[in-house]
Structure 1
Amino acid sequence: MKNLFRTIAVFVMAFMAFSFTTLNEGKKEIKIENSKVVWKGYKVTGSHEGTIAIKSGFLNFNADQLIGGEFTIDMTTISSTDLEGEYKGKLDGHLKSADFFGVENFPTAKLVLTEVKSSGKNSYEVSGNITIKNITEPVSFDLSVYGNKANAALKIDRSKFDVRYGSSSFFDGLKDKAIYDEFDIVADLEF
C-alpha cells in the first residue's frame, strides 16, 4: 500500500512539474475580445485614427522567449474613432472601398512573424511578412511582452499594397489634398 501511495505521489509531482515547466511554452492564442488594434493615417491638413479588429492570432514561445506568431485582421471592421455621424460613415465607407482597402474583395489582411530576436528584457526586434490586398511585403518592428500581454507599433507604407488614393507617389498636383503613404498601427494584445 505504501508503494502505491509513493507511486501516485511521484506521478502527481512529475505531472505538476511538467505542467509548470511547459506553462510558458508553445502556441498562445490571442484573446481577441481583450486585444485592440489602433490605426492612424496622416494627410497634409491633419490626420484620422480608428480601430480594426483581430480575427485570429497567436504567439509562439519557447520557454519565456517569443519565437514567432501569426495574425489575421478583419478588414471589414476598419472604423474611424475621431469622427461622428455622417462624416464617420463617409470615411469608414471610403476606407472599405476599392479606393483604399477593397474589403469586399480582400476581407482579411495577415501578418506572419518570420524572425524574432531578443533586444533586451521582454523586448524583441521582429521581422515578418504582411499581406494586404493579396500583396505581401516584408515589415520590421519592435514588440514587447509582459506576462500575458504584448504590444507593438508598426509603420506601413500603403503604396506598396496598391492603396493609391490621394498618394503623391502616384498622383501629381494633390497639394493640400495629399494623404501620406505611411500609416501607423499600434497593437495591444492579450493572450
Structure 2
Amino acid sequence: MKNLKSIALALVVVFATATASAQTKKVDATASTINWVGKKVTGQHNGTVNLKAGTLIFKGDKLAGGTFTVDMTSLTATDLTGEYQGKLNGHLKSEDFFGTEKFPTATLVFKTIATKSKTLYTVTADLTIKDKTNPVTFDITVNGNTATTAFNVDRTKYDIKYGSGSFFDNLGDKAISNEFELAVALKF
C-alpha cells in the first residue's frame, strides 16, 4: 500500500511538472508580418494583412500549440498605388472575395504538431475564413523568438469562387488561381 501511494504521488508530481512546463508566448502582432500573393493568368498581385492577436505554446523548448486571429479588414495590395490599389482592395474586401464587413477576422488554430528537427515542425491547423473551417498543413521554423512559415490556401474551400476556372467557363485571361500564397513571420 505504501508503494502504491508513492507511485501515485510520483505520477502527480510528474504530471504537475509536465503541465507546469507548458508556456504560452504572446505573439507581437505589430512586429509580425503576413504577406500574400494571388496569381491570375496575366500576372499576380501581392500585399499584406495584419495579425490581430496570436499565441504560441511551448512545452520546454518544443512547439506544442498556437492560435491566431487575422484582421481581414487590414487586407491591402502593396503592388499597386492610388486608384488601382483602392479598387483592388475594395474588391478583395467585397463579398466576391473575403467579405470583410461580415467576416472581419480569420483564425488559425494548431491541431497537431510533428517535430521534424530541433527547429522545424509540421503543423496541421484549422483555418477559418468566412465561417468555413478547413485543415491546412505546413512546416514552421522556430528560432529563438521568431517563427516563419509559408503555405498555400485553396480559396474555393472557403466559398471564394470569383474568377475561378474550376467554377466558371470562358474566363480566358480573367481566370484567377484557386490558391493564394501566404508567407508569415512571427515575433514573440
| TM-score, L = length of structure 1 | 0.87
Say whether 1:35 aligns with 2:20.
no
Counterpart CA distance in 2 for 1:119 and 1:36 is: 24
Q: Identify the residue that residue 124 of structure 1 maps to in structure 2.
A: 121
Specify which of 110, 114, 135 is matched with residue 111 of structure 2: 114
Q: Which amino acid aligns with 2:54?
A: G
Q: Number of paired residues?
A: 169
Counterpart CA distance in 2 for 1:37 and 1:138 is: 19
Q: Identify the residue that residue 45 of structure 1 maps to in structure 2.
A: 42
User: How many Å apart are 1:25 and its aligned residue?
Assistant: 4.4
User: How many Å apart are 1:35 and its aligned residue?
Assistant: 0.4
User: How many Å apart are 1:145 and its aligned residue?
Assistant: 0.3
User: How many Å apart are 1:120 and its aligned residue?
Assistant: 1.1
Q: Identify the residue that residue 185 of structure 1 maps to in structure 2.
A: 182
Q: Which runs of 4+ in 1 moved over 4 A?
A: none
Query: What do you get for the CA RMSD once the two structures are aligned?
Result: 1.0
**Paired residues of 1:25 and 1:64 also in contact (CA < 8 A):** no
Counterpart CA distance in 2 for 1:93 and 1:124 is: 36
Secondary structure of residue in 1 paired with 2:157: helix
> Computing the radius of gyration over CA atoms, which structure comes out larger, 1 or 2?
1
The answer for unaligned runs of 5 or more in structure 2 is 1-19
The answer for unaligned runs of 5 or more in structure 1 is 1-21
Per-residue CA distance 1:28-80 (angstroms, 9 max, x = gap)? 00001110000000000000000000011000000000011000000000000
Secondary structure of residue in 2 paired with 1:32: coil
Q: Identify the residue that residue 98 of structure 1 maps to in structure 2.
A: 95
Q: Which amino acid aligns with 1:41?
A: G
